[in-house]
Structure 1
Amino acid sequence: MEFDFIYNTEAKRYSLKLSSEQLALQCFLLDEFEPKASAYQPLLTQLQQLNAQSQYQWDGKEYRLTVQASEVVICHFSLLQEQGIEMELDPEQDLELDQSQLYAECGLEDLLHLIQQWQQFLPT
């Protein structure tokens, strides 16, 4: 996974740039956490404890991160439909929305590497 880290000195703002296929992941990392390295530590700690058969779910303010068999899915809540306790993709709504900022997939190893590098770039 390719990524760029940017610090705008005028705005004093940290930014992350991922490929267009990974815009939902980019939004998840920028919108769900404060721009401090320590803000990502709870998620990173949980992800590092997973193995190839693990299942994990992190519900943020706007996005859900799901890990299953070392595959990571980032999905905006607008793509999910409440059905009892579990939420699943709503295929009808899925067709109506531009998914570029709403849905992304990547491998667990790629995500771990990205978060670790991002933490090193951010202030503590």
Structure 2
Amino acid sequence: MDPTTNPLASYLPLAVVLLLAGVLALVIVQLASMLGPRRPSSIKSTAFEAGSESSGPARQRFAVKFYVVALLFIVFDVEAVFLYPWAVNFQALGWFGYVEMLVFAATLVVGLIYIWKKGALEWEH
């Protein structure tokens, strides 16, 4: 088949790979369920937490500060993701790229100052 006559012909190899990946995933799951060990016991059914006995219920409430710290980590991690490609292309971007990154970094610094003043970085209140 000529790719000029059928525009979908170039996607055939991708479709074959996706189909093979799906079939392989199903085969692996099926083999694991058929060949895997099946001897349930009360000890195997208990919750295991890093070698320690479980303490407390599974539906325990956590303080909001855990989530705030996680969100702050994500925000500043995303900053690092944007900083690397900018540094690689720094010379090609010129002054416009430099000013863009200054605005981006200034926005993050303002956010950092705000959360610092709000006390989000203090662990104990």
Larger-Rg structure: 2
TM over 0.5: no
Structure with the bigger percentage of strand? 1
Structure with the bigger percentage of helix? 2
TM-score (norm 1): 0.23
